[in-house]
Amino acid sequence: MAHTISPSAATLAYLHRRKFTRGKLFPGRSCKNSSGSLLPSARRRFYFVASATNERYRGVMEISESEARPPIYAWPDHNKRPRICILGGGFGGLYTALRLESLVWPDDKKPQVVLVDQSEHFVFKPLLYELLSGEVDEWEIAPRFSDLLGNTSVQFFRDRVKCLYPSDHLGMNGATVTGSGGVVHLESGLLIEYDWLVLALGAEAKLDLVPGAVEYALPFSTLEDAHKVNEKLRALERTYFGKDYPIRVAVVGCGYSGVELAATISERLQDGGVVKAINVGKEILPNAPPGNRESALKVLSSRNVQLLPGYVVRRIRKGGGFGTSHELTKVEALYDATEIRTPESLVLELQPAERGLQSQIVEVDLVLWTVGTKPQLPLLEHNDNPNMLPLNVRGQVETDETLRVKGHPRVFAVGDSCALRGKHGNLLPATAQVALQQADFVGWNLWAAINGRPLLPFRFQNVGEMMTLGRYDGAVSPSFLEGITLEGPIGHSVRKFACLTRFPTDEHRLKVGFSWLTKSAVETAAFVQNTFTKYLQNLR
C-alpha cells in the first residue's frame, strides 16, 4: 500500500529558517530557485509520490500554486521507529543496510531504512574486468537493488542527492528543532527526513587532471564505463579484423586497476593488439605485496604489453596517421609504418617524470584512464554555514574512530567518503575490503547508538590482496601466509571463490555459484572432447 506524501510543517519551517545558500552535492546545481528561496516557486507543479514498497515511485500528484511545497517522504512507521537514510549503494552503503537488517533489534527500535543510489544496479567492482574477458555475465556481478533487497524491509530509491541539511550540530546528542537529524533533498524534489545518516557516496574518476582526458579518455570504475570500453573494443576489433596492424590501447596508471586492465585487454586482443601501460613511477603496483608485483610483471612481459615507466601524460589530443611513437613495440615493428590508420586515433604527449628520459609522442586507438578519483560529497559554502561537513583536501569527510563524522553525532561515513587513518597514520586505501569492514562497523555502531550502548572504534584488518591477470591468471597474497603468493590458475580460482563469498546475499551467492559451476563444467567437457579428438586424429 502506497504511503502518501504529507509535507511536514516543522521541516518546512526549519528549511525556511536555515540559511544555506547553495549547499549542494554537485557543483553548478543550486538548491535555490530564482527568487533565492530554498523551496520551489509558487506555481502549478507535478511531483512524484514515493512508495513504501520497493518501487521507486508510485504515481504523480498535482500541487496547485497555493499548495506548492516540496514533497516529503512519509516513512511507513512515521516517527515511532528510528529513521536511517543511507546515501550510496556501493560496498559501504548496501552492506551497511544489510548489516542493519541482520541485527537483532527490540520491536520498538528496529530502524526504518532508506537506501538511495543513482543506479538501479549494485556493482561488484572487483569483477568488472571479467566482463571484458567474457568470463562473467552482467547479472552475476551487477544485480538489481530491487532483487537484493526484495526480502528485506529496506526501501530503495533510484535518485541523486542534491542537497544535505544536517541539523545534528544543534544539540550535543543530535537533538534538533525538528526532532530529526536533518533532511536530504533529492534531485527528483523529494525530501527525506532522517534521524541517522550514512554517507557512502563513493568516488568517481578524476579526468580533469590532464587537458584532453575528459574528451578522449575512458575511465573504468562503473558498469557504464565497462559497457563503453567493451563497445569500443568490439568496434575496433570489427574495424581491424583481417588487417595487418594491431589495435593499440594505452592504459594510464599502473596501480591495481591499470595493471588488471592491461592484463585483461592484452589477453583478449592477443596478437591482434598492443597495450601500452604508462606509469609516473619506475615501478608498477608500488603498494602491492612483492608476490603480486612479480606475478603481474611475469604475465605482462609474456604478452603484448609495453611498459612506459617514469612518464606523465601532458596532453591527449586527436591524432592522424600511424607511426608517430618514438618507439615501436615488437608487434608494431612487424608492420609497415606507412600504413594509413584510422583518422580517429589519439595522441598522448608524454613528459618524463624521471631524469634521463626523453619526451615521447604515443599514438593509440583507445585511452583508458585509471589515475585519480574524487569523492562525491556535498560541497557546502563556507560563508554563513557553521555546520558544514569537515572535508579534507581530497574531498573526504573527517570522522572519529567510530566512523562518526566530526561535529555531527547523527552522521556516519564509510568507504571513499570517509577519511580515516590506520594504525601507521596513513589514510586507509579506497578498496573494497576497507569499505566492507567499515560497513560492518557502522551497522553495529548504529545499533549501539540507537540502543544506548558504547560505540566501537574501527580497526582495519588487512586480509590480503588479490588481482586478476586474465581469464586463467590471477595473484592472491593472503596476509596470514606471509611471503606466499598464489598465482596462475590457482590464484585465479581462489580469487573468484573469495569474491563469491563476499556477494551481498545468500540467494545471489547460490545463483552465481551454480552459474559458475555450470560454465566450468561446460569448459571442462569441451577441453576433454578436444583433447580426445586430437588423440584420435594422431592415432590415424
- pLDDT for 68: 52
What's the average model confidence in pLDDT over 135-147?
A: 96
- pLDDT for 170: 58
Give the span between the Cα atoms of 158 and 117, in whole angstroms. 5
The closest alpha carbon to 302, from 267, 346, 261, 260, belongs to: 267
Give residue 12's identity as a one-letter amino acid code. Answer: L
Q: Which residue has the higher pLDDT, 36 or 282?
A: 282
Give the span between the Cα atoms of 269 and 320, in whole angstroms. 23
Q: What is the mean pLDDT of the chain?
A: 82
Question: Each residue of 290-344: pLDDT tens digit?
Answer: 999 999 999 999 999 999 999 999 999 998 644 444 444 444 443 333 344 454 7
Give the span between the Cα atoms of 413 and 405, in whole angstroms. 7
The closest alpha carbon to 263, from 467, 476, 484, belongs to: 467
- Under 8 Å between Cβ of 227 and 220: no
Map 392-411 to HEC letters: CCCCCEEECCCCEECCCCCE
Q: Which residue has the higher pLDDT, 5 or 532?
A: 532
Indicate the range of 3-17, 60-74, 80-94, 272-286 predicted with least confidence. Answer: 3-17
- CB under 8 Å to 191, separation ≥6 — which residues? 11, 70, 71, 72, 73, 183, 184, 185
Indicate the range of 72-86, 111-125, 167-181 predicted with least confidence. Answer: 167-181
What's the average model confidence in pLDDT over 452-469?
A: 94
- pLDDT for 104: 94
- pLDDT for 534: 74
b/e map of 176-201 (b: 16 or more CB within 10 Å)?
Answer: bebebbbbbbbebebbbbbbbbbbbb
Give CA separation, 216 vs 234, 342, 427, in Å.
Answer: 17, 15, 31
Q: How confident is the model at residue 269 (pLDDT cuts 50, 70, 90)?
A: very high
Question: Each residue of 476-519: pLDDT tens digit?
Answer: 999 888 889 999 999 999 999 999 999 999 999 999 999 999 99
- pLDDT for 320: 64
Model pTM score: 0.83
Question: Each residue of 396-432: pLDDT tens digit?
Answer: 889 999 999 999 999 999 998 888 887 777 888 888 9
- CB under 8 Å to 122, separation ≥6 — which residues? 89, 90, 94, 142, 143, 144, 145, 148, 504
Does the structure show a pLDDT above 90 at 267? yes
